[in-house]
Chains A and B, each alone.
Chain A
Amino acid sequence: MAKNSAKGTARNAGERWRVIVYSVTALIALVGLADATFLTVAHLTGDDAVCGSSAGCSAVLGSAYAAVAGIPTAAFGALAYFVVFSTSVLASFGYARARTLLALVVAVMFAATLGLLYVQAFVLHAFCPFCLLSAALTFLLAGIVVATPSIR
Chain B
Amino acid sequence: MKRYLPFAIIVAVAVVTIGVGAMLYRAKMRVSPSAAAPPAGTASTAPADSQEKESLHARGPATAPVTLEEFGDFQCPPCATVSGVIDKLEKDYGPRLRVIFREFPLAMHSHAVEAAMAAEAAGLQGHFWEMHDMLYQYQAVWSKVSDVSHFFSAYAESLGLDVERFKADSQSDAVRARVISEGDLGVSRGVKNTPTFFINGTQLRGAFTPENLRAAIDAALAGKQSP
Please determine whether A90 and B29 come into contact, CB atoms closer than 8 angstroms: no
Minimum distance in angstroms from B149 CB to a CB of chain A = 23
**Given A41-B28, A45-B28: A78 touches B17 (CB 8 Å cut-off):** yes
Residue of A nearest to B212 (CB): A59
Question: Please, which residue of chain B has its CB at the minimum distance from the CB of A44?
Answer: B25
Return the contact of A126 from the options B192, B196, B207 (Cβ within 8 A): B207
Closest beta carbon of chain A to B98's beta carbon, Å: 23
Q: In the complex, A58→B208 CA distance in Å? A: 9
The contact size tier of chain B is: 20 to 34
B69 CB to closest chain A CB (Å) equals 16
With both chains docked as a complex, state the minimum distance between the C-beta of A7 and any C-beta of chain B, in angstroms: 23
Nearest neighbor of B71 in chain A, beta-carbon distance: A46
Which residues of B line the A interface, CB within 8 A?
2, 5-6, 9-10, 13-14, 17, 20-21, 24-25, 28-30, 76-78, 80-82, 106, 108-109, 191-194, 196, 205-209
- In the complex, 8 of the A-B residue pairs with CB atoms within 8 angstroms, ordered by the A residue number, are A37-B24, A49-B108, A49-B109, A53-B80, A54-B78, A55-B77, A55-B82, A58-B193
A48-B76, A125-B207 are known; give 11 further A-B pairs, CB within 8 A.
Answer: A30-B13, A41-B25, A41-B28, A45-B30, A46-B30, A47-B106, A54-B78, A55-B209, A63-B205, A64-B205, A125-B209
